[in-house]
Amino acid sequence: MKKHTLITALVCLAATLSVAAQEKEQVKTGWNLGPLPAVSYNSDLGFQYGALCDFFYFGDGSTYPTYLHKFNVELSHYTKGETIAHLFYDSKYLLPGLRLTAAVSYLDSAMSPFYGFNGFASPMNLDLTSGSSYYYMDRTMLRAIADVQGNISDRLTWMAGLTFWNVTTGDVALDKYKDELSLYEQYLASGLISDNEVAGTHLELKAGLVYDTRDMEAAPTKGYCAEVVASISPALFGDAEAYGRIMATWRQFFPVVGDRLVLGYRLNWQQTFGNAPFYLQQTTTPLYLRQIKNEGLGGKNSIRGVFQNRILADGYAWANFEARVKVVNFRFINQNWYVALNPFVDAGIITKSRALDLQRGENALQEEINKGLGLYSGHDASGIHASAGLGLKLVMNHNFIISVEYGKPFDKRDGKGGLNIGTNYIF
């Protein structure tokens, strides 16, 4: 959920020099803290600076590597204009028989990516993706999540929860770009983004089922996990319209050489029903937030190396395949560590295009194209958005994971490649 790099080189050096590199892992007890400066780089957001901390409580160690309580806090800023304030909590032990997951996040982005609707159906001018505000908009987002899970059987659980959104979008307001035309501004002027979906407040009611046989959550070595989460948002606030979403996820892991070489994959599908505003169609509905931003399709949480939010549609599916190779185990600062590599391949497709005649008729849209705006190249949103790359992981106590990944798209319309430094495996 965070990005940081400062200790990576030091810890890797310690791994090389440590005489206890193959020492038997020790069970952790009590509180374990991971305070770090939030200093990192993200191809979509720029350089990050700030502070963050993970708090894990293992009690007497009887549940290790599963924690009893986890807190995460972050306050940081990116050089492309995004500020993040985030608080996260997760526990299976606070409420008897229930797992509680809660988060409050505030994201203020002066340069939030916007590449139009339906992927390849929207023209892409790579010359305008850097040094320009054409493919950006201003966005502020307040999100609050509260979810609970309860057991039906040893492996099957139910879930229910709420997500509150308050979102405002606008044209980029930074002084250096104040006279530039943006794609967002053109979509708004042409009616492809309606006036009543520029901003809004929404409450989503969620319910779902989970079947999980994995040996652990943060870095599994075997087992599978199937999730189905459905949500509905009634028209409660202002001009907001009712909509619903359903998301299905399948993850599976195969130990090839014990826990030294693990093959894993994830399959996802999400569909929106009704009139969800465009700024929520680029968010996903996961059961557990592994990153602060639950956005797709494109970017470090879904198709690594592809522009963030490159694919915005009513429905999409994506897949991630990777090998996880544990290189070395070692002890450092009285913690259990290991280093791993994860080569990967990611891919995604649009399963349902966003309709273009919701606000204006087809003739009006064609008229805009004929004027030379070039907002849309047609209705062909088919095509696979794919990438491949390599990741490096530094893992402490099986739960705190520093991640460095580089992905390269197969199609230049999806970008030139991206480097992301953060935390956690993406699945």
Percent of the chain with pLDDT over 90: 58
- Rounded (5°) CA angle 270-273-278: 80
Q: What is the pLDDT of residues 267-307, one digit of tens each?
A: 999 999 998 999 998 888 887 777 788 887 898 889 999 99
pLDDT at 18: 39
Percent of the chain with pLDDT over 70: 87
pTM: 0.83
Domain ranges of the chain: 8-423
Q: What is the pLDDT of residues 376-418, one digit of tens each?
A: 655 467 789 999 999 999 999 988 898 999 999 999 999 989 8
pLDDT at 284: 87
Confidence of residue 208 (pLDDT cuts 50, 70, 90): very high
Question: Could you tell me if 297 and 364 are in contact, meaning their C-beta atoms sit under 8 angstroms apart?
Answer: no
CB proximity list for 334: less than 8 A, separation 6 or greater: none
pLDDT at 378: 53
The span from the CA of 168 to the CA of 201, in Å, is 9
H helix count then E strand count, the chain: 4, 17
> Between residues 3 and 392, which one has the greater pLDDT?
392
Two structure tokens written together for 111? 């340069």
Which range has the worst mean pLDDT, 138-142, 157-161, 395-399? 395-399
Nearest to 86 by CA among 70, 106, 100, 102: 106
pLDDT at 9: 40
User: How confident is the model over 114-118, as a mean pLDDT?
Assistant: 91
Mean pLDDT of the chain: 86
CB proximity list for 405: less than 8 A, separation 6 or greater: 300, 304, 342, 344, 389, 390, 391, 392, 419, 420, 421
pLDDT at 24: 64
> Between residues 169 and 301, which one has the greater pLDDT?
169
Two structure tokens written together for 11? 């810890």
Q: Which helix (H) or strand (E) holds 380?
A: none
Nearest to 214 by CA among 154, 172, 135: 154
Using CA atoms, how far residue 123 sits from 126, 282, 378, 380, in Å, is 10, 18, 9, 11
pLDDT at 253: 98
Return the number of other C-beta atoms located less than 10 Å from residue 61's C-beta: 12
Two structure tokens written together for 104? 């409050």
pLDDT at 377: 59
Whether pLDDT at 5 is above 60: no
Fold of 8-423: Porin (2.40.160)
Is it true that the peptide bond before 65 is cis, omega within 30 degrees of 0? yes
Nearest to 147 by CA among 231, 94, 207: 207
> Between residues 289 and 231, which one has the greater pLDDT?
231
pLDDT at 364: 53
User: How confident is the model over 414-425, as a mean pLDDT?
Assistant: 88
CA 36, chain centre distance (Å)? 21
Return the number of other C-beta atoms located less than 10 Å from residue 257's C-beta: 9
User: How confident is the model over 70-76, as a mean pLDDT?
Assistant: 92
The span from the CA of 235 to the CA of 216, in Å, is 39
> Between residues 142 and 65, which one has the greater pLDDT?
142
